[in-house]
Chain A
Amino acid sequence: MRIQVETTLNGEPTTFLCEAHHSLLDVLRNGLGLTGTKEGCSTGDCGACSVLMDGRLVPACLVLAPEAQDRTVITIEGIATSEALHPLQQKFLEHAALQCGVCTPGFIVAAKALLDANPNPSETETRYWLAGNLCRCTGYDKIVRAVLDAAAEMSSGKAAAR
């Protein structure tokens, strides 16, 4: 049974068709061509599929696509503006916090959720928050440094703007 779903995706009203059992991850990648969100495990273990739904960090592999009806969904494609990368993205580049890059979108979306709620997280808070994101190549240290550096820059930016 095909279901028509109306949602807001990265700020744009979006309509898609899906089956009841399709995951939001399936629809993003295969239906809508938004392949930034990655599939690592499909069992909630790796965080590669992290998206924000109504502002909350969720694993898109464990969300049914029809659940997106009337919700707002933000994926990695909605993090940068047309002018500039998000500070998290910039800092991942500067700190070389990626190698193959498969985990990177998930880390950036998860880190954005952290900084939205807690603009100045400690290193411990950052490490625990990102415990559901797995990286097989980079090692976590550069990733954590990049997130903390982005947090520092974002809060000093805000301080300067005041």
Chain B
Amino acid sequence: MLSIRYEAPRSIAEAIHLLASDPGAHVLAGGTDLLVQFRAGAKQPSAFIDVKRIPDLVGISLDTNGLRLGAATPAAAICEHAELGRLWPGLVEAVHLIGSAQIQGRGSVGGNLCNASPAADTTSALIADRAECVIAGPGGERVVPAERFCTGPGTTILRRDELLVAVVLPRPPARTADAYFRLIPRSEMDIAVAGAGASVTLDASGTCTAARVAVGAVAPTALLVDAAGQALIGTRLDEATLSLAAAAASAAARPISDKRGTAAYRRHVVGVLAKRAIVSAAARARER
């Protein structure tokens, strides 16, 4: 007989107290990873701490500084938000790739990050967009860049009694846009063989002044590829430059071979995806 508890705290402080007082407690957001793992016997929580009734954890707020996404906001709410798709089309594309309409009714960006799958679709998009993770714990709040949040497959920098509260993104400057591409063998409902996100800023003459490229599913965590971003800065994103950035993305990859693809294939394809993401982000940036 299982004796698992269900708690629905109304405040961050209450949630942290519940986590701190029970080492077996697990945070429940949409449950699209946690409940699948629980039913498979891979996780045995002593309590589900449902954080969706904490106002700070659900909701989208957008102001002149940027975006604050409550960690447990369902993906569907992000996809429905007209302004987000205009400002961060790449991030919204990544969110829209998570599972099906049903999964998007539950799954959250916070859960995608905290589950720490190397193939999590939103993580590379968030890294490219300079997202920061707002974490609350008994000692107060700390803020960590998205590229430092995951530490390995299934592990993050969160301590047991900490909670991811929100993800914050700076508002994109003029002529800045993002894009995210992944490769899956089917057209829907599959897990990335490789993924790449890019954010590109152009000046009025079309020269790149800032760029970030991040890759997923090709290393134990999603990676920020500094060399790929650097290769773009000061150029007009000509073919030779794009090839350099693609090569940098491939070089940063440390993939494994599994049923989804061999290491060599992943290394190649992540370069192709990085290039496509850069080209798409730049095309969007030109229109702004």
Name A's B-contacting residues (CB within 8 A). 1, 3, 19-21, 23, 42-45, 47, 50, 53, 56-59, 61-64, 66-67, 69, 110, 113-114, 117, 128-133
Contacts and interface: CB of A to CB of B under 8 A. Distances in A.
B264 interface: no
Nearest to B77: A56
B220 interface: no
Interface string B2-13: 111110100000
A44 B105 contact: no
Contacts of A23: 35
A57 B39 contact: no
Chain A contact surface mostly? mixed
Given A58-B106, A59-B106, A19 B4 contact: yes
A132 B189 contact: yes
Contacts of B35: 23, 61-62, 64
A43 B99 CA distance: 11
A156 B206 CA distance: 48
Contacts of A130: 101
B100 A47 contact: yes
A152 B135 CA distance: 48
Contacts of B103: 44, 59, 62, 132
Contacts, number: 90
A71 to B, nearest CB: 10
Nearest to A45: B189
Given A43-B39, A50-B102, A63 B8 contact: no
9 contacts: A19-B2, A53-B105, A56-B74, A57-B101, A66-B8, A131-B187, A131-B188, A132-B101, A132-B102
Contacts of A59: 102-103, 105-106
Interface in B27-61: 28, 30-32, 35-36, 38-40, 47-48, 50, 52
Given A131-B101, A132-B102, 13 more contacts: A1-B5, A19-B4, A44-B100, A50-B102, A58-B102, A59-B102, A62-B36, A63-B106, A64-B35, A64-B50, A117-B80, A131-B188, A132-B189
Interface centre among A43, A63, A64 (most CB of B within 10 A): A64
Contacts of A131: 100-101, 187-189
A62 B29 CA distance: 11
Nearest to B189: A131
